[in-house]
Amino acid sequence: MKLTVYAALIVGLLTISGCTTPQSIHPGAVWLDNRGQLIQAHGGGVIKLGNTYYWFGEDRSRDNSRTNRCVSCYSSKNLAHWTFCNQVLKLGNVENFQRGWALERPKVFYNPRTKKYVMYMHIDGALPGQSGGYSFARIGVATCAKVDGDYQYLKSFRPLGHESRDIGQFVDDDGTAYLIFEDRPFGFRIAQLSDDYLTLEKEMCLIPEHLEGGALVHYNGLYYLIGSELTGWNANPNVYATAKSLAGPWSEFKDIAPPETKTYDSQSTMLLKVAGTKTTTVIFMGDIWKPRMQWDSRYLWMPLEIGDGKLWLPQPHDWMLNIKTGEAVIKQ
Ligand code: GAL
């Protein structure tokens, strides 16, 4: 009896820490944190520090105060079990929006030069005299000395003078940090962050397609960029293009999944590369939005079929990730 209890405990511990056993990820299912609460990291991004992953995203908890917009941070060693760290940003209406104020798609970068964590976010709303809710179209920046500390809001700006709504983050294999932003009416722009990461300083390219939800990965010498159509909270067929260099030329855009599935009702937010001892897996991170119950919006994370200029999102099923070897196995 005692032995069984110990065995169960050990298996439990290994499962939680993810030391040896592959961990299951359930696309579209309720995803609870260590407290048993719905993970609130919508429109999010993930960074890795040492062997720990940090997931930041919109905290749309039902009981958040209506005046604040919040960002939460979770940590994990295996990408399956997430520990709540902190509600790292609780921002009041600092820009004095008259209505429709939004803080969306927060992304955190670690700057090794300044040793600061820098959060980018889409900040929007209508100022007096403006008609639409999303007319501010700016990037907000907040910083912190600790990855999961309380971030201080610094400023908002239009990157390189352009409108910016959905943003996506990308750190290349050489450590250079970039942002993908949607500049309506022109298209996707990819721009390099300044040395201190507090602004964008160099535009790499403009891709003249009306896309948002930008997500980028560098895989086997090729850049793969995913975007979604401009359909608000409603899902649409997400598409991808490739290029040998960020400056382009970019290929034409193709579907990442059967178009009638509308990306299995999800929208891209990030591509996460897990390089293990045996192989490299690229994870599609998408949001399954529930606009009327945002707190219950779900996540669709799936390993992609990727290589030789092709990218495909397999039909969602539960899957296992071995964080050490990088191997992903989809359960059929
Ligand atoms: C989507 C966008 C979301 C949110 C939403 C509001 O297009 O990707 O982040 O802004 O519109 O309608």
Residues in a beta bridge with 321: 23, 328
Closest Cα to atom 12 of ligand 1: 232
Domains of the chain and any CATH numbers: 2-330 (2.115.10.20)
C-alpha angle with apex 173: 313 to 316, nearest 5 degrees? Answer: 15
Ligand 1 pocket member 233 (CB < 6 A): yes
Whether the per-residue pLDDT at 14 is higher than 70: the answer is: no
Ligand 1 pocket member 132 (CB < 6 A): no
**Of residues 25 and 99, more confidently modeled:** 25
CA 277–ligand 1 middle distance (angstroms): 37
To test the ligand 1 pocket, which listed residue (233, 262, 268, 297) has its Cβ within 8 A of the most ligand atoms?
A: 233
Burial of 185 (0-12, 13-18, 19+ CB in 10 A): exposed
Segment 197-207, tens digit of pLDDT: 999 999 999 99
Closest CA to 278 of 312, 328, 314: 328
CA dihedral 166, 172, 177, 180 (to 10 degrees): -20
Closest Cα to atom 7 of ligand 1: 232
Ligand 1 pocket member 57 (CB < 6 A): no
CA 278–ligand 1 middle distance (angstroms): 37
Q: How many CA atoms lie within 13 A of 67 on its CB side?
A: 5
Ligand 1, closest atom to CA 134? 10
pTM reported for the whole predicted model:
0.94
Rounded to whole angstroms, the Cα distance separating 112 from 233 reads 35
Ligand 1 pocket member 43 (CB < 6 A): yes
Closest CA to 105 of 223, 246, 290, 270: 270
CA quadruple 253, 254, 255, 256: dihedral positive or negative?
negative
Rounded to whole angstroms, the Cα distance separating 66 from 75 reads 26
- What pLDDT score does 4 carry? 44
- What pLDDT score does 22 carry? 86
Closest Cα to atom 11 of ligand 1: 232
Ligand 1 pocket member 105 (CB < 6 A): yes
Whether the per-residue pLDDT at 133 is higher than 90: the answer is: no
Ligand 1 pocket member 232 (CB < 6 A): yes
Segment 173-230, tens digit of pLDDT: 999 999 999 999 899 999 999 999 999 999 999 999 999 999 999 999 999 999 999 9
Whether the per-residue pLDDT at 279 is higher than 70: the answer is: yes
CA 212–ligand 1 middle distance (angstroms): 8
Ligand 1, closest atom to CA 231? 7
Whether the per-residue pLDDT at 291 is higher than 60: the answer is: yes
pLDDT band at 17 (very low <50, low <70, confident <90, very high): very low
